[in-house]
Amino acid sequence: MKKWLQHPQSWAFVVALLTSLACALAIAATGGRQSSLVPMVFLPVVLAVGACTLEQTVFVGVLASAAYAVAVGFVQHSPTFDQQDVVRIVLLNVTSLTGAMFARRMRLDRDRWRSSAEEKEALLNASQIVASSDKLSSALDSVLLTVKNLVPRVHRAAVFLSDEKGHTMRLAALLGTDPEALRFERFSLRHRRGHWHPDDTQPYYVRDTQLAQDDRMAQLDPAARSVVCVGLRSLTVPIGMLFVSSTEPAGFSQESVRLLQALSDRIAFPLHKIRLQEGLEDLAFTDGMTGLYNYQSFKRHLHDELRRTIRYKRKLALLMLDLDDFKAVNDRYGHPAGNRVLIGVAEIIRHTVRETDLPARYGGEEFAIVCPETDGQEALNVAERIRAAVEASQFEVVPGEMVRITISIGVSSYPLDAVDETSLISAADTALYEAKARGKNRVVATSAAPLRVETAQG
């Protein structure tokens, strides 16, 4: 009952009913059928048409007619009512009801047409702004602003874009200034994160996230009670995802979901074009020789991932890798040959790590890998796969001549080995130096790790 009274239509219905009774009493008190207030019998119907549902309006019309008949009957002091009078007032009420409903339908159609025109204009403006943008960041900002203006009750909106190989989705833009508000900023596309995948052509609407606790996409925003995920497809190529959340259960109407789909359809192609123009990846964040992330990008990723890990009480691991006796390769074959070895090792690392890992060239012959959502044991497994793959490979340093090389790896993890970025790097470096001291070609975990594992060949 309390929830029913919170709805504006419910209050309008109550007011219309009370008005019916008040009008009947006023007519009865001023002469009944001869009262100058008889036209007031139509007032409740007019009020109901303006604010109530069709069923409520019909009920008000019937009640107003009955109340009028009762009022006239009491004034006439007759045990029976004048049937003609009752029929007359009922017909008049029906006529007024029909006219009022027709007027209301015209007003609703006009409002719907106006709303549709405004929505089309907003969608057109959004697509034109995106198409005219030369920067991906500004284009995405305009998309999120359009979402905020078009869709009611939006708590958070974000755009995720896939990498050039289509293996990983990463956060590209967020409505707000706190990226840590989301549980994760990247995820693998190799496996579904729940009941929906960005490749799906239909929008995904979770009306109540509390009923979808096992769905990672539904739980992306911790504060959300309802979410909508819409895939971004340029022609037939999936390029990303539009994510929108609300703090209310069933916070979005089907019309809002339709608008989000329409917006996605309009912006996907121009966004894809901008990405192609920018070379898909910002080269400022990659190492020019190996194609891995560079040192600056590594530091930024480590900072962001560790802050998120601390906030949500997750786990994170760091691998520091260094080629063994690399100076001997440079001294004997020259730096161009050494560069070919570095490129080959980088390829091994790139194909051995998981999609969510972040490999970087730390400097010289040293590499680093940030492993989100990873404990010490999982990190040791990743490190050992890399070590074994490097040892089993041969690298062509000059035409017709191959060399072998090994790699030493130190592993640290949060929260067991460190409290911040500096201590995490220091712990991994210490483990790396220990691996070198113990004979190289091995993986060593920090002493505080739950499982101290080292592996070596020979």
271 and 391: one domain?
no
Assess if residue 128 is contained within a domain: no
Q: What pLDDT does 381 receive?
A: 94
SS3 186: strand
270 and 158: one domain?
yes
Q: What pLDDT does 113 receive?
A: 55
Residue in 78, 89, 94 with CA at minimum distance from that of residue 35:
89
CB 183, CB 311: distance < 8 Å = no
Q: What pLDDT does 230 receive?
A: 93
Assess if residue 449 is contained within a domain: yes
- Using CA atoms, how far apart are residues 72 and 85, in angstroms rounded to an integer? 9
CB atoms within 10 A of CB 55: 9
Cα torsion through 249, 255, 260, 265, rounded to 10:
150
Assess if residue 120 is contained within a domain: no
Single out the catalytic residue among 365, 366, 421, 454. 365
Task: Tell which of 262, 277, 292 closes a domain.
Answer: 277
98 and 195: one domain?
no
Q: Which of 80-84, 148-152, 453-457 has the lowest mean pLDDT?
A: 453-457
For the four alpha carbons of 103, 106, 112 and 114, in that order, the dihedral sign comes to negative
DSSP, res 187: E
Work out the average pLDDT over 346-360.
Answer: 92
Give the list of residues 6+ apart from residue 265 with CB closer than 8 angstroms, or none: 233
Q: What pLDDT does 2 receive?
A: 47
319 and 434: one domain?
yes
Model confidence band, residue 117 (pLDDT cutoffs 50, 70, 90): low
Model confidence band, residue 1 (pLDDT cutoffs 50, 70, 90): very low
Q: What pLDDT does 276 receive?
A: 78
Residue 53 has φ and ψ, to the nearest 5°, of -75, 170
State both tokens at 180: 């840590």
Q: What pLDDT does 273 receive?
A: 85
CB 86, CB 76: distance < 8 Å = no
pLDDT at residue 149 greater than cutoff 80: yes
Q: For residue 260, what is the domain's CATH number?
A: 3.30.450.40
246 and 338: one domain?
no
pLDDT at residue 179 greater than cutoff 60: no
Task: Tell which of 243, 261, 277 closes a domain.
Answer: 277
pLDDT at residue 242 greater than cutoff 80: yes
Model confidence band, residue 150 (pLDDT cutoffs 50, 70, 90): confident
pLDDT at residue 251 greater than cutoff 70: yes
249 and 307: one domain?
no
Q: What pLDDT does 138 receive?
A: 85
306 and 334: one domain?
yes
Q: What pLDDT does 370 receive?
A: 97
pLDDT at residue 376 greater than cutoff 60: yes
Model confidence band, residue 75 (pLDDT cutoffs 50, 70, 90): low
- Using CA atoms, how far apart are residues 437 and 63, in angstroms rounded to an integer? 95
pLDDT at residue 111 greater than cutoff 60: no
51-68 per-position pLDDT tens digit: 666 666 666 666 666 666
Q: What pLDDT does 449 receive?
A: 43
Q: Which of the pair, 336 or 96, is modelled with greater confidence?
A: 336
- Using CA atoms, how far apart are residues 221 and 398, in angstroms rounded to an integer? 53
Q: What pLDDT does 456 receive?
A: 46
Percent of the chain surpassing pLDDT 90: 36
452 and 339: one domain?
yes
Q: Which of 208-212, 378-382, 429-433 has the lowest mean pLDDT?
A: 208-212
**What are the strands of the beta sheet with 316-323, ordered from one edge?**
358-363, 366-372, 316-323, 407-414, 442-445, 454-456
Model confidence band, residue 78 (pLDDT cutoffs 50, 70, 90): very low
273 and 288: one domain?
no
pLDDT at residue 6 greater than cutoff 60: no
98 and 165: one domain?
no
256-293 per-position pLDDT tens digit: 899 899 888 888 898 888 887 776 555 567 888 999 99
Assess if residue 118 is contained within a domain: no
Tokens 């027709």 sit on residue: 102
Which residue range is the domain that position 435 belongs to?
284-456
Q: For residue 384, what is the domain's CATH number?
A: 3.30.70.270
155-164 per-position pLDDT tens digit: 999 999 887 6
- 118 as an active site residue: the answer is no
* pLDDT mean across residues, the chain: 80
Q: pTM of this prediction?
A: 0.56
Q: Residue 88 corresponds to which amino acid? A: R
Task: Tell which of 225, 251, 277 closes a domain.
Answer: 277
298 and 419: one domain?
yes
The number of folded domains in the chain is 3
For the four alpha carbons of 91, 92, 93 and 98, in that order, the dihedral sign comes to positive
Assess if residue 124 is contained within a domain: no
Cα torsion through 93, 97, 99, 101, rounded to 10:
180
Among 30-34, 95-99, 417-421, top mean pLDDT goes to 417-421
Q: What pLDDT does 244 receive?
A: 93
269 and 159: one domain?
yes
DSSP, res 417: T
pLDDT at residue 253 greater than cutoff 80: yes
Model confidence band, residue 452 (pLDDT cutoffs 50, 70, 90): very low
